[in-house]
Amino acid sequence: MIDQFPNFFADADSDYNNANFVIFGIPYDKTSTFRYGAANAPSEIRKASWNFETYRFETGVDFRDLKVHDFGDLPVKDLSPENMIKEVEKTVLRFKKDEKFPIAIGGEHSVALGVIKALKEEEFCVLSLDAHLDYRNEYEGEKFSHACVIKRITEEIGTKNVAVVGFRSADRDEYKNALEDKLFCMDIFNINRTGLKNILEELKKHFGKRKIYLTLDIDVLDPAYAPGTSTPHPFGLTTFQLLEIIDEFAEKLIGFDIVEVCPTYDKGETSLLAAELIRTIITKHYYKTLKNK
């Protein structure tokens, strides 16, 4: 039994220069509004990552054969939301210059904006999987709140390049504005009525041939699967529905983040799930792209 785990993501031991994938933590939760503690998620997810076998029998890929580097955590914990976003943007611009595939571990959802700002010169779409629309213009006087992140992202890359899937909570005006702005937003109830496969077909038409950045708020899942999150909401996706979405778009990804894990509020289940999702998305992307080059 290991009493103390290394403070890096398991098997992400490639050096930076040779790595294809770069994992980095963004321990930030200054705009959290219900449960605090998402800043602790990067370290807890790293610990949980040591639980898994490296071989993925469904793809034949061994995680140890991939060139993955853990960059560590960004020094953002005490920054203002705006300065945190600037620090994330600066870091991801370096990754982009060095042709790395960025993988951010939040932290609250506002951290995703910094990544998007760094990548925005490329032609791509953002797929947000989230229990909430996050489309407010400001929240509690803060326009860089986690509750405003999708609104800020649409201002960077255009509303037509963003899709929110799995939401089941929104303010009345927020929802009205999203519809008026023609934001592609698919609620969980429509997914269950229509069927996920049909929704995936709609998403594929919406994205076309464009690349995709995935921002994955863990609260898109039902709290039965992910209780340790900042703003849990019932009636969410199942883990297998999430896997189906990931499998559909893994090949097109240019990066992803996992946000809003709040380790204080469970016994490690959600950190474990987040760690496995990171490994799964990396290996599926590799299997569908790099392996076949």
d(Cα 201, Cα 194) in Å, to the nearest integer?
11
d(Cα 258, Cα 108) in Å, to the nearest integer?
9
Per-residue pLDDT, 113: 98
Per-residue pLDDT, 1: 46
Q: Where are the domains of the chain?
A: 16-292
Q: Which CATH superfamily is domain 16-292 in?
A: Ureohydrolase domain (3.40.800.10)
Per-residue pLDDT, 292: 58
Positions in the chain whose pLDDT score sits under 50: 1
Per-residue pLDDT, 36: 86
Q: Say if residues 85 and 110 touch (Cβ distance below 8 Å).
A: yes
Measure the CA dihedral 136/238/62/14, to 10°: 20
pTM over 0.85: yes
Length of the chain: 293
Per-residue pLDDT, 112: 98
Per-residue pLDDT, 6: 77
